[in-house]
Amino acid sequence: MPFANMRDRLIYLAVWFACLGPILWFIFQGFTDDLGANPIEYIIRQLGVWGLRLLMVSLAITPAAKLLRQPRLIRYRRTVGLWAFAYIALHLSTYVGIDHFFNWPEIGKDILKRPYITIGMTAFVLLVPLAVTSTNGMLRRLGPKNWKRLHQLVYVIVPLGVTHYYLLVKKDVRPPVVYGVIVTILLGYRLYAWARQRRERALKAAAKAAA
């Protein structure tokens, strides 16, 4: 096996286990009775927080690849994004199945009554099509342009996730505020890159017309 392929596989394995790490930690905490006074609430919140963190990491991979001149990093973005979806799906499943025992009327009231749950559910609904279309087969079916447009929903989903987290916490809002700042920087970078690319295209078009 060529060294480059072996290196890529080892990096992919490291990324996979890094994403799995929090779940293994929760299991360890369960065995050591270290989940706090309210284990269900702790697990629900931590699953959501890690889902949001991984979404932010997936959002940061593209600018990191460009700034570090390491285009290979892009190949791990999809893996991190799918792990983020897995954590958020577990976050929602624990809330529905364990915290509320599938009491759909009560869950419906919660969604309508509590803004942070409304926002969180909206973010999850928007995230589902991104997870479903993350395969190479769906990329081919949709076409690169349509696939890219669809996956730009992440620029809406991540701020919704931060807002959901901010409204959820009652005392220490510092973590969601920090996340909000990071997300603002990441989205600001993308807006800057888009504006710069558009300007360069306009200049090229003007130069070509004047030639």
CA distances from 15 to 65, 144, 170, 175 (A): 15, 25, 33, 24
* Interatomic CA distance for residues 41 and 43, integer angstroms: 6
**Phi, psi angles (nearest 5°) of residue 170:** -110, -25
Q: Output the pLDDT for position 2.
A: 61
**Residue 47 in contact with residue 94, Cβ under 8 Å?**
yes
Token pair in block for residue 99:
């915290």
Q: Output the pLDDT for position 10.
A: 86
211 residues of the chain, pLDDT tens digit each: 565 677 778 888 999 999 999 999 999 999 998 988 899 999 999 999 999 999 999 999 999 998 888 888 888 999 999 999 999 999 999 999 988 889 999 999 988 899 999 999 999 999 999 999 998 899 899 998 999 999 999 999 999 999 999 999 978 899 999 999 999 999 999 999 888 888 888 888 777 777 6
Q: Output the pLDDT for position 211.
A: 64
| Total-model pTM | 0.91
CA 50-55-60 angle, to 5 degrees, is 120
SS3 of the chain: the string is: CCHHHHHHHHHHHHHHHHHHHHHHHHHHHHHCCCCCCCHHHHHHHHHHHHHHHHHHHHHHHHHHHHHCCCHHHHHHHHHHHHHHHHHHHHHHHHHHHHHCCCCHHHHHHHHHHCHHHHHHHHHHHHHHHHHHCCCHHHHHHHCHHHHHHHHCCHHHHHHHHHHHHHHHCCCCCHHHHHHHHHHHHHHHHHHHHHHHHHHHHHHHHHHHHHC
**Residue 166 in contact with residue 176, Cβ under 8 Å?**
yes
